[in-house]
Amino acid sequence: MQVTCEKTPARTRSRWLVRSGVKPKATIRLFCFPYAGGSTNIYHSWQGLLPETIDVAPVLLPGRGECFSEAPFARLSEIVEVAAHELAPYFEESFAFFGHSMGALIGLELTRWLRRNNRMMPAHLFVSARGAPQLPELIEPTYDLPEPEFIEHVRQLNGTPQDVLSHPELMQLMIPLLRADFAVCQTYKYEPEPPLDCPLTVFGGVGDVEVPAAHLSPWRELTSSAYQLHLFPGDHFFIHTAQADITRTIAKELGR
């Protein structure tokens, strides 16, 4: 596995990409964005699960993994602006975006940034476990809760491993990242724009109480192209339990 965190002028490297293996027969690259508090390990097995025609490129955001020492962004606009420049050399060949929860917002807003700046657009946008962004946010912000309440909130979300939650030193390392990522999601304000013209596929969890199916359907308003909604067994983090079904669906859509 090649991990680079330093800035480099080389067009074939980016500090934001973690590559696992090489697919010389690939015809499209799938950029994968993490959920809040997540890193590239979410997508560690996807390179093997997807066919040789799809090259998986997990995106390493600051504040995690090999780039842990870098301060995480707390605003979505900052992530999008930097990502657009970090990944620009890879946007000259066919590519698609996948994002889960926070990652879905990154994928959407990066796609809209590319359109506003007359750049090449993704062949497909996959969004997962995130309600349609034009819907009003009904949940009160939690990123600035006092620490005991914040940790309890994180525990209830069921996305942080128990061995981390029960380890105070590890939690102290994770809290700044979690607060920043929650702020990314909870300070985001959707700005209306014309529908995208790329296909849009939405994934949801049948048992996801945070993002019910009724909040997923309105994504269809954000594209004038093909739209599909797929629901899988599991809660908000069905991305871990339904990997085979998710990647099978992605392969089918990108193979059209």
Locate the domains of the chain by residue range. Answer: 2-136+191-254
pLDDT at position 93 over 50? yes
Residue 216 to residue 117: CA distance in whole angstroms? 28
Provide the token pair at 4: 């680079």
Average pLDDT value for residue range 216-227:
98
- Fold designation for 2-136+191-254: Rossmann fold (3.40.50)
Give the least confident one: 24-28, 141-145, 236-240.
Answer: 141-145
Q: What is the pLDDT of residues 135-160, one digit of tens each?
A: 998 778 889 899 889 888 888 887 77
Query: Is 101 an annotated catalytic residue?
Result: yes
pLDDT score recorded for residue 2: 38
Average pLDDT value for residue range 228-233:
98
Closest CA to 32 of 70, 61, 65: 61
* 171 pLDDT tier (thresholds 50, 70, 90): confident
Q: Tell me what percent of the residues of the chain surpass a pLDDT of 70.
A: 95
Q: Is the dihedral of CA 164, 168, 169, 174 positive or negative?
A: positive
Is 195 or 136 the better-scoring residue by pLDDT?
Answer: 195
* 13 pLDDT tier (thresholds 50, 70, 90): low
Residue 82 burial (CB count, 10 A): 14
pLDDT at position 174 over 60? yes
- Kindly report the average pLDDT of the chain as a whole number: 90
pTM of structure = 0.91
Is 56 or 167 the better-scoring residue by pLDDT?
Answer: 56
User: Which one from 45, 69, 77, 101 is the annotated catalytic residue?
Assistant: 101
pLDDT at position 221 over 50? yes
pLDDT score recorded for residue 18: 80
Is 8 or 77 the better-scoring residue by pLDDT?
Answer: 77
Residue 93 burial (CB count, 10 A): 12
Provide the token pair at 29: 């690259």
Is 14 or 205 the better-scoring residue by pLDDT?
Answer: 205
Residue 256 burial (CB count, 10 A): 8
pLDDT score recorded for residue 159: 74
